[in-house]
Structure 1
Amino acid sequence: MKAATATPKGPKASATKRKIIEAAARLVYQKGFHATSLDMVAQAARVNRGSLYYFFRSKKNLGLAVIGHYEFLLHQNYLSPSFDIEASGREKIRRLAESYARMPIQDSPCCGCPIGNLSLELSALDEEMRLRLKRVWDGVFERIVLVLTQSQEEGDLPDELEPLAHARSFFSQIQGAHIIARCSQDEAFLREDCGRAFMSLPWVQNGESK
């Protein structure tokens, strides 16, 4: 009788799964989702195909996990450091714009925002992945709305401002700047464009909104 294959369990299994997701996330960021094969992921993660398929039944399942990983990094590296501090709402928004302006410098060559990249690549091709990406954006907008509301309460934004509409507009400008930066490879322009996204909000100056 053939011996049963042992089922991965415990911390070792969790570490293997995390290693696969992180390897896939790096490859997808550099090459795109469609250009990244499961063989490439297995090789980069240093696992066999059996281990990969144990955790992820298909490339789509792995892709959804990669989106979740990018979402975690987005909050951990950009939103939380900018927002989870003792500061005015205006300062928090400024910090977020500046952190996005530094993204290509930290991840040279310029590869843009990973969630933005996948949104462009996958949204028209797979409905489940589109909806998963939409949930990421909705979570980003929710956090920005809270900070814009704080700015209203502090008198830095007009009371009549609609926070969600301006959160979407502000972050859309930043994402657009990253799309252009992927092509131009010009980090100076990216910094300027992210700065303009911040300044495009109707900040109150001398008691009057600009």
Structure 2
Amino acid sequence: MNQHITSSEVKPITELVNIFDQEAFASEVERIEGAAAKADTIAYRVKKTITTRIAENPQTYLRFSHLISETIEAYRAGRLSEVEYLKQMHDVLEQVQQGTARTIPARLHRYQHAHAYFGVLQGILEAMSGDLPEGLSEERLADMAIEMEAVIERRKIRDWTSNRDIQKAMMNDIEDYLYALKAQHGVSLTEVEMDLVLEQVLEVAKQRDRL
């Protein structure tokens, strides 16, 4: 059984530079001994970056987070050697540094936050199902994201990000919309998917409000 500490537990000995300073970050990682320790550090730092930047592009960063989790699990299960583990973490790091992103519908660029909610929706549904569920096209997701922006904006008041009553009202409104969508268009989300959408859309809304 592999006893190496994984990225969920690892804490860098020294404070590493920003991962987007590619040369400096590569130099910091190179000073760490052992392929697995290097991979752990990359995973830790990329995960930390994802946490702070997810509101900027939820779709992409959720996908990267999923890739990291899968890679860590494969290493822990012995399906990857230390060298393979490091290589895959380097691949994820390079994608994050290069800003690899999937295309979103062009009409969403006219809105302030809808593109971020679109990313949340697509990321959750594809992560849960492997693809978009039947009846949910990207254009339908775009419609949903636009409506979610409208719902949230209508409820915003001063200091709403610390007002639990307002946040609950937002989530109730979004939930009502999702149930109406099911009744009118046959779009059905599982309870787990709906809970994730409500929680993550609200969290992204709060993060974007602080930008």
Q: Same fold (TM over 0.5)?
A: no
TM-score by structure 2 length?
0.32
Asked which structure has the greater CA Rg, the reply is 1
TM-score by structure 1 length?
0.32
